[in-house]
Amino acid sequence: MSDPTRFPEDFLWGAATSAYQVEGSPLADGAGPSIWHRFAHSPGLTAGGETGDVACDHYRRWAEDVALMADLGLNAYRFSLSWSRILPDGRGRVNQAGLDFYSRLVDALLAKNIKPVVTLYHWDLPAGLDDRGGWLNPDISDWFADYARVAFRKLGDRVSMWATLNEPWVVVDGGYLHGALAPGHRNLFEAPRVAHHLLVSHGTAVQAYRAEGPSGRGKIGIVLNIEPKHPATQDPKDQQAVRRADAYMNRQYLEPVLGRPYPAELQEIYGPAWDESFQNEIPRIAQPIDFLGINYYTRGLTRDDPAALPVRTSPVKVPGAVYTETGWEVYPKGLTETLLWVKERAGALPLYVTENGAAFPDPPHLADGRLDDAPRVDYYRGHLRAALEARRQGVDLRGYFAWSLLDNFEWSLGYAKRFGIVHVDFSTQRRTLKASARLYRDVIKSRGGVLAG
């Protein structure tokens, strides 16, 4: 019987990043532009016009960053591949130099006993594919599978854990419905179509992996961001609002991946933009997967709001609660709730928390060079306890990844919002461990023992 007050010996302790947010040098060595390169270089679309041109310069400083991970005691690192580094036009010609970059990174991780966990798509679609309609073009599931095969063949002998997509909900809601993220569209009729094409692409990549032979013998899954939706009041209208918000953000993605129909609420939400024939393609989406990655940041206290189209819900602030700099309520209990909720639907599928973390304004460095990010320390303490509690209640949770290893390019919010457990001085690229990184190191070393009390 394992000790319920400790995480198990084989637990994965990781931190996560994504290519465009940390790498910099987006066009180096033959890489092609992505939609994020274009978006960030368009006037007025990111805070202060900031771009990922330099970011954390991880493309050149990866060795230093791997040493940092080893120093923290991480045994896993979740990162994403830049599709347009590998296939500059998104399809066809392969850029060997791009593949070699990831191959070197994987070798360096393995040399330090850090397991590479690779995400194929973290929002940076090759611009050449966007020119052909991007996620709106049904051919994208073939393009994605072709790209995935190139990655599996180069790295699959050493990478044994893959995620197809990171947070398809954000791609759709931010990229195609509200336009705050690349490619910046605002179109109700595109949103459900893009969601469907993302999910079908997930399915084709899983199929491609299974067909690979020796380089496809590891584990493959998908990363979804799940946010428990709670009613603002007991008013039945708010209860109905919760049902819609949950269908839109959570069940729209989770259910088809697990082989169940799209939620009935999508018809109500998208109206004439919903195409019921998507239901016929669930079998293409629902390929058997080996794990589910869950990104958890906050809950959504929700009220009915007929004016807020298309879901007709609005978020509500909780008086007295602590909020992060991105306006998200700090609600650790929601992580336990989320993992239990997913377990109820996904049965025995192993789960990983593939992202969890918070942006807070960091105080200046102390005289001895340390940086005491007390609110982030509290955040991690609370959420790691909540993860342990989920295990105690029977969730097969096998790993946890802090978001993020480094302060980085927070998409349209630029560099001001810092999510790192490691501070990055963007003028010198100097890295400094924050107190949250030191706490995390102690949690890892004690397998959660320091969380007690």
Binding site for ligand BGC (CB under 6 A): 18, 21, 166-167, 170, 225, 295, 355, 403, 410, 419
Given a contact cutoff of 8 angstroms between Cβ atoms, the answer to whether 79 and 18 are in contact is yes
Nearest alpha carbon to residue 400 among 325, 350, 348, 345:
350
Q: How far apart are CB 166 and ligand BGC at their closest, in Å?
A: 5
Q: How far apart are CB 17 and ligand BGC at their closest, in Å?
A: 8
**Per-residue tokens: 351:** 């789960």
Nearest alpha carbon to residue 435 among 385, 365, 386:
365
Query: Is the sign of the CA dihedral 313, 315, 319, 320 positive or negative?
Result: positive
Is 119 or 141 the residue whose CB approaches ligand BGC more closely? 119
Tell me the CA end-to-end span of the chain in Å, nearest whole number: 22
Q: How far apart are CB 328 and ligand BGC at their closest, in Å?
A: 9
CA dist 227 and 225 (Å) reads 7
Is 19 or 241 the residue whose CB approaches ligand BGC more closely? 19
Q: How far apart are CB 10 and ligand BGC at their closest, in Å?
A: 25
Q: What is the DSSP letter of 10?
A: T
Given a contact cutoff of 8 angstroms between Cβ atoms, the answer to whether 58 and 19 are in contact is no
Is 95 or 119 the residue whose CB approaches ligand BGC more closely? 119
Is 143 or 403 the residue whose CB approaches ligand BGC more closely? 403
Question: Is residue 230 within a helix (H) or strand (E), and if so which, with residue range?
Answer: strand 229-231
**Per-residue tokens: 69:** 């991970």
Catalytic residue among 23, 227, 255, 355: 355
Q: How far apart are CB 182 and ligand BGC at their closest, in Å?
A: 12
Is 171 or 286 the residue whose CB approaches ligand BGC more closely? 171
255 is catalytic: no
Given a contact cutoff of 8 angstroms between Cβ atoms, the answer to whether 79 and 166 are in contact is no
Q: How far apart are CB 224 and ligand BGC at their closest, in Å?
A: 11
Is 278 or 360 the residue whose CB approaches ligand BGC more closely? 360
Taking only Cα atoms into account, the Rg of the chain, rounded to an integer number of angstroms, comes to 21
Catalytic residue among 167, 255, 265, 329: 167
Nearest alpha carbon to residue 241 among 307, 158, 192, 314:
314
355 is catalytic: yes
Strands 313-315 and 291-295, bridge-based pairing: unpaired
Catalytic center residues: 167, 355
